[in-house]
Amino acid sequence: MVVCPNCREDNPDKFRVCGFCGTPLVAPLASEVRKTVTILFCDLKGSTALGERLDSESLREILGRYFDAMKVIIEGHGGTVEKFIGDAVMAVFGLPRLHEDDALRACRAAWDMQRALERLNEELMSRWGATLANRIGVNTGEVVADDASTGQRLVTGDPVNVAARLEQAAGEMQTLIGQPTYELVRDAVEVEAVEPLTLKGKSQPVPAYQLNAVRGEIGVARRLDRPMVGREIELAIVNAAFDHSIAAHACEVVTVLGEAGLGKTRLVEAFITGTHGEATVLRGHCLSYGDGITFWPLREVVRQAAAITETDDPPEAIAKLHVLLGAAAGDVVDRLAVAMGLRGGVFPIQETYWAATKFAEHVARERALVIVFDDIHWAEATMLELIAHLAGSAKAPVVVVNTARPDLVDDHPGWLQGKANATTIFLTPLSDADSARIVENILGPIGLPAVTEEKIAKAAEGNPLFVEQIVSSFIDDGLLRVDPTGGWTVHGAIADAEVPPTIAALLSARVDKLPAEEKAVLETGSVAGAVFQRRAVEELAPSALRERAPVSIESLNTKRLLHLAESSFPGDSAYRFHHALLRDAAYQRLLKRARAELHERFGEWLERVAGPRILEFEEIVGYHLEQSYRFRGELGPLDTAAVAVGIRASARLAAAGRRAIARGDMPAAANLIDRAMSVLPPEDRGRVELAVDLGETLREKGDFTRAADVLRNAIDRAAALGDVPLRTALTLVQLLMLKSTDPMGWEERALEQTRQAIDVFAEAGDHASLARAWRLLGNVHGSVGRFEAGRESVERAIAEARAAGDRRQETRSLPALGLCLLYGPEPADKAIARCEELLVSAHGDQRAEAMLMSSLAQLYAMRADFDRARALYRRGRTALEDLGARLQATAVSIYSGRVELLAGDPVAAEEHMRPAYETFREMGERATCSTLAAILGEAVYQQGRYDEAEALSRVSEEIASEDDFDAQYRWRALRAKIRALKGAVSEAEETARESVRIAQQSDSPVEQADALLALAAVLRQSGRPDDAAPIIAQALKLYEAKGDLVSAERVRALADPVVA
């Protein structure tokens, strides 16, 4: 029972007002909503002069006749006269209820009003010798309106002002319509574009059109591709991909593209049903607001496979992953757990791809696996890369079925193009006959009138969702009812019922006519997204609604506006909007201040209920707090409370962004960090701190222009704050970027600024920044051949990373240390022992392990252990390919090529390096390709193809940077030997000595010896063996010092006139 607050009498629970005194028993819901309506302004022209000619009584009668006629026309077209202002009329189309064709109704009303005035003028002229003229302005847009149930009809917003200005700009008996209105009626009207109008209160000229006629019934005519009958052909394509996957034991990818509601999900469900249990089926959904929620679909798929429930805490979930994948798959479990937010950790993004592939292969061991990823047009670029990696790497019967809107190919035009195992299906609208079959599936064979089916088919345009929603609208309106036998009967003039012309308008109109409590549930749930939790709605809804929310939700479920979904939280129910457009229609009704409040409260609710699982939902929490902040900003100056919301949003988004950086997911990281910065006040120090991460992620993405702007502004701000360490950290990131964009003289600048940075960070005790600075210094030393100094710097970077507890910084430095040990003066046997230790230290970072294997391969080759060397470089390259690191996998061909040259097999060396060289040349890459060209030239030279070798030396010369000592000495050494063979002895000797001079600037024994050996070859070719002898001895001493047994033995065995 409900107690009346006025008379204190008991009332049944369902009473809305007191049965004794009439007092409302439930507080009214919010009365203001946002609606897209069409406004019509009409004003008389010259009425003042008319009043001077006629008696006041006659004028009153004339104006009365006029206003009565105009009001009848407006209301006849479904408009509402909001008010009369002197001689002007203001009408709104969309109040009290939206219609899908409100813009067209307003235009038709305007046209009829002026035609009616022409007829009225004939009478006025015959009776009073006077006529009237008016002018009309029509505009469409979103306004704030009072709910019709309150009895108020006030609308406010810029579209109202524009409509009034259009009316003032119109000529006599002329109607001007605004651009938004024209877009909605263009196929039903005849218009003439006028010069854009300079209107009071508008900063830019406003497009306008003179309305010359209203002809059609549909504002926006449908332009359809030729429809297909059913989905039998598309289903056969998916089935064929499934059969081929099983037969070939290989991965197949099918992407189903279609506009919202065209039946993508129905097609997938039919395919799954047709597998008859022959496959394991897993499904993941991409979230529409998932900028930063990169691996949410992967999370859903893995949880289904491992039978992880929402009641499982992280340790239990991880245990189930171990059970699913087996004891030997610990590396896979570790990476999946981090991607799913079950534990903290740092793994490169390619290792997540690798883990996802190994997971799919494992699940598909016993029977085929079908993975469905829904709505990938909302997927992060990194998630799309994961799917592409899976398509290219999985070696098992795995079928990946993606659904997406056409936005996918608009945003990613190259999606899976050129892959033989990838198929794209474009869904076209269904035929009218198939639309009728959908109606029959919903209602049974009730025999709808032909005109009704025709209306449905015309409005739905072959879109199954449109058909379903139109039929549901007829049910809601009582035009279709269930009779006592359980069948459907037609009530009322269904054949004449209006059918909405577009799905967006249909859903907006359907939401608008729901009971107030059900509208409030949809609006509140829409804040959460496409899926919402029942308890979230109960907590966030107006107090008057909370107790009845479950009843309203069930009613909406019955009306097919909602349906049950998998809940993210135990003990709670989840509901999904029947379609994303329905959610959008409900969300658009909310005032911005209501959105701001609800987003903040939802974020707080999610933080509270997530508890220890907050890592799974942190990006979502950040999103909702961010939305709250942005809507508050749109409403006016930010107050203290709004700033506080922004700071909380930034903390969540930044934390998620740094985790994305740690796993190497740079697209998501840049998005999250950028958003985290944008919700902080411009003067906030945290905003400048985040610029360090944003600048680095943008640089690694290759967005150098944006990175330069971000860093420049942040450096200026840090300087204004007087924060030297922060400014220095930003300068280091800027320095790294300049290596790619402005490399001339970079080493000198980098050396000076990095040393200064180390002093600043040491004084501040900032170990993480010191790790970055020391690693950069190591790179500077290595780029100019100072490998021992580079080793010391990188070892210091590792120590600082460990002091900071930054595992990612530590493992990123290990491959650089391996290269210093390979090329520097450390003897090969000691370098091998050290690199083996580094390989153990790198465990868990497969990219670091692979790069270390490449260094080890060359070191073992120096010791003549070619079997082990080849095994290592093959393992390293395979690991990089499995990770999807195609560029790095190609680059390591330099290392395998050197191994084969040491093994005395220039043919094998060329086989390894030639594809990589051609790939880099096509890409326009210069840094790696310049060295690769010279080493490939050496392999060709050793095969006796001297002209080709010389051409490769010229490629290296052309593209090598002046500061690239490695490429500069190598192309000269190769060229000198070739020119000597061709008789250009003087030129050859000069070139060879320059090569030696460049190499001797480094502390690399092997590279110095290689250059000396080339000079000796030139001298011997010129008939000066005595001059060559001490040079050969010097080279032998260097090889021996390095422990390069293979090269030393070759030098000792020199007997031919020319040193090859």
pLDDT value at position 211?
96
Using the predicted structure, report yes or no on whether residue 27 has a pLDDT greater than 50: no
Using the predicted structure, report yes or no on whether residue 920 has a pLDDT greater than 90: no
What is the band of 664 on the pLDDT scale with cuts at 50, 70, 90? low
Say which residue, 848 or 358, is predicted with more confidence: 358
What is the band of 1058 on the pLDDT scale with cuts at 50, 70, 90? very low
Of the candidates 1020, 1011, 1021, 1018, which has an alpha carbon nearest to the alpha carbon of residue 1047?
1011
Question: 415 and 295, same structural domain?
Answer: yes
Q: 563 pairs with which residues across the strands? A: 576
Q: Please answer whether residues 359 and 325 qualify as being in contact, where contact means their C-beta atoms are separated by less than 8 angstroms.
A: yes
pLDDT value at position 416?
87
**Furthest C-alpha separation in the chain:** 130
pLDDT value at position 965?
86
Give the mean model confidence (pLDDT) for residues 533-554. Answer: 87
Whole-angstrom Cα distance, residue 695 to residue 726?
13
pLDDT value at position 204?
86
Question: 596 and 480, same structural domain?
Answer: no
Give the mean model confidence (pLDDT) for residues 599-609. Answer: 94
873 domain-assigned: no
In Å, how far are 345, 418, 619, 807, 886 from 342, measured between CA atoms? 10, 36, 14, 18, 29
Give the mean model confidence (pLDDT) for residues 910-933. Answer: 87
Which of 375, 391, 426 is at the close of a domain? 426
pLDDT value at position 251?
95
Say which residue, 210 or 413, is predicted with more confidence: 210
Give the mean model confidence (pLDDT) for residues 177-191. Answer: 89
Which of 24-38, 776-790, 801-815 is predicted least confidently?
24-38
* 963-999: pLDDT as tens digits: 788 999 999 999 999 999 999 999 999 999 999 999 9
C-alpha 665, offset from chain centre = 12
pTM of the model: 0.70
Report how many helices (DSSP H) and strands (DSSP E) the chain contains, helices first: 45, 20
Question: 631 and 595, same structural domain?
Answer: yes
Question: 626 and 611, same structural domain?
Answer: yes
pLDDT value at position 676?
96
Question: 207 and 101, same structural domain?
Answer: yes
Sequential DSSP letters for 793-859: HHHHHHHHHHHHT-HHHHHHHHHHHHHHHHHSSS-HHHHHHHHHHHHHHTTT-HHHHHHHHHHHHHH
Give the mean model confidence (pLDDT) for residues 346-360. Answer: 92
Peptide bond preceding 227 in cis form (omega within 30 of 0): no
Q: Which residues contact 623 (CB under 8 A, 6 or more apart)?
A: 289, 291, 292, 603, 653
pLDDT value at position 488?
66
Tokens 């392990």 correspond to 849
Which of 401, 426, 451 is at the close of a domain? 426
Whole-angstrom Cα distance, residue 54 to residue 57?
8
Proportion of the chain above pLDDT 70, given as a percent: 88
What is the band of 52 on the pLDDT scale with cuts at 50, 70, 90? low
pLDDT value at position 147?
58
Which of 664, 681, 698 is at the close of a domain? 681
Tokens read off for 28: 């009214």
What is the band of 880 on the pLDDT scale with cuts at 50, 70, 90? confident
Whole-angstrom Cα distance, residue 419 to residue 251?
11
Using the predicted structure, report yes or no on whether residue 305 has a pLDDT greater than 60: yes
SS (H, E, C) 517-557: HHHHHHHHHHHHCCEEEHHHHHHHCCCCCHHHHHHHHHHHH
Give the mean model confidence (pLDDT) for residues 645-654. Answer: 96
Of the candidates 965, 1046, 1041, which has an alpha carbon nearest to the alpha carbon of residue 1005?
1041
CA atoms 556, 557, 563, 567: torsion sign? positive
Question: 436 and 408, same structural domain?
Answer: no
pLDDT value at position 48?
61
What are the backbone angles phi and psi of residue 112, rounded to the nearest 5°? -65, -35
pLDDT value at position 1056?
47
**Highest mean pLDDT, choosing among 58-67, 549-558, 900-909:** 900-909
956 domain-assigned: no
Proportion of the chain above pLDDT 90, given as a percent: 52
Q: Which residues contact 226 (CB under 8 A, 6 or more apart)?
A: 428
Q: Give me the CATH number covering residue 244.
A: 3.40.50.300
What is the band of 500 on the pLDDT scale with cuts at 50, 70, 90? very low
Question: 208 and 94, same structural domain?
Answer: yes
pLDDT value at position 799?
95
The percent helix, strand, coil of the chain (3-state, each to 5) is: 60, 10, 25
* 546-576: pLDDT as tens digits: 788 889 999 888 877 888 888 888 889 999 9
Of the candidates 402, 383, 93, 100, which has an alpha carbon nearest to the alpha carbon of residue 254?
402
Q: Which residues contact 324 (CB under 8 A, 6 or more apart)?
A: 305, 306, 307, 362, 363
pLDDT value at position 228?
34
572 domain-assigned: no
Q: Which residues contact 635 (CB under 8 A, 6 or more apart)?
A: 592, 593, 596
Question: 157 and 249, same structural domain?
Answer: no
**The residue type at 621:** V
What is the band of 953 on the pLDDT scale with cuts at 50, 70, 90? very high
What is the band of 925 on the pLDDT scale with cuts at 50, 70, 90? confident
Q: Which residues contact 330 (CB under 8 A, 6 or more apart)?
A: 322
* 306-328: pLDDT as tens digits: 999 988 999 999 999 999 999 88
Whole-angstrom Cα distance, residue 708 to residue 730?
11
71 domain-assigned: yes
In Å, how far are 135, 778, 850 from 871, measured between CA atoms? 86, 29, 12
Tokens read off for 465: 């969702």
319 domain-assigned: yes
Give the mean model confidence (pLDDT) for residues 415-423. Answer: 88
Give the mean model confidence (pLDDT) for residues 821-828. Answer: 96
Long-range contacts of 986-995 (CB under 8 A, 24+ apart): 988/1018, 988/1021, 988/1022, 989/1015, 989/1018, 989/1019, 989/1022, 992/1017, 992/1018, 995/969, 995/970
Of the candidates 580, 476, 569, which has an alpha carbon nearest to the alpha carbon of residue 518?
476
963 domain-assigned: no
Kind plus residue range of the DSSP H or E element containing 732: helix 724-741
pLDDT value at position 683?
85
What are the backbone angles phi and psi of residue 431, rounded to the nearest 5°? -80, 165
Tokens 């590279």 correspond to 1007
Give the mean model confidence (pLDDT) for residues 672-697. Answer: 93
Which of 493-502, 825-834, 889-898 is predicted least confidently?
493-502
Whole-angstrom Cα distance, residue 449 to residue 439?
12
Number of structural domains in the chain: 4
In Å, how far are 141, 150, 523, 580, 595 from 33, measured between CA atoms? 14, 12, 10, 20, 11
Long-range contacts of 245-249 (CB under 8 A, 24+ apart): 245/368, 245/397, 245/398, 245/399, 246/368, 246/397, 248/397, 249/395, 249/396, 249/397
Whole-angstrom Cα distance, residue 932 to residue 202?
61
Give the mean model confidence (pLDDT) for residues 191-220. Answer: 86
**The residue type at 876:** G
Q: Give alpha helix (H) positions in 394-481.
A: 407-411, 432-443, 450-460, 464-476
Whole-angstrom Cα distance, residue 301 to residue 307?
10
Question: 299 and 335, same structural domain?
Answer: yes
What are the backbone angles phi and psi of residue 232, rounded to the nearest 5°? -65, -40
pLDDT value at position 446?
58
Whole-angstrom Cα distance, residue 972 to residue 995?
5
Using the predicted structure, report yes or no on whether residue 829 has a pLDDT greater than 60: yes
Mean pLDDT value across the chain: 86
Question: 599 and 469, same structural domain?
Answer: no
50 domain-assigned: yes
In Å, how far are 292, 332, 806 from 660, measured between CA atoms? 8, 18, 15
What's the DSSP call for residue 95? S
pLDDT value at position 871?
95
- Structural domain boundaries, residue 442: 432-501
Question: 386 and 438, same structural domain?
Answer: no
Whole-angstrom Cα distance, residue 73 to residue 134?
15
869 domain-assigned: no
Question: 64 and 167, same structural domain?
Answer: yes
**The residue type at 199:** L
Tokens read off for 848: 């670091």
Whole-angstrom Cα distance, residue 365 to residue 377?
30
Q: Give me the CATH number covering residue 156.
A: 3.30.70.1230
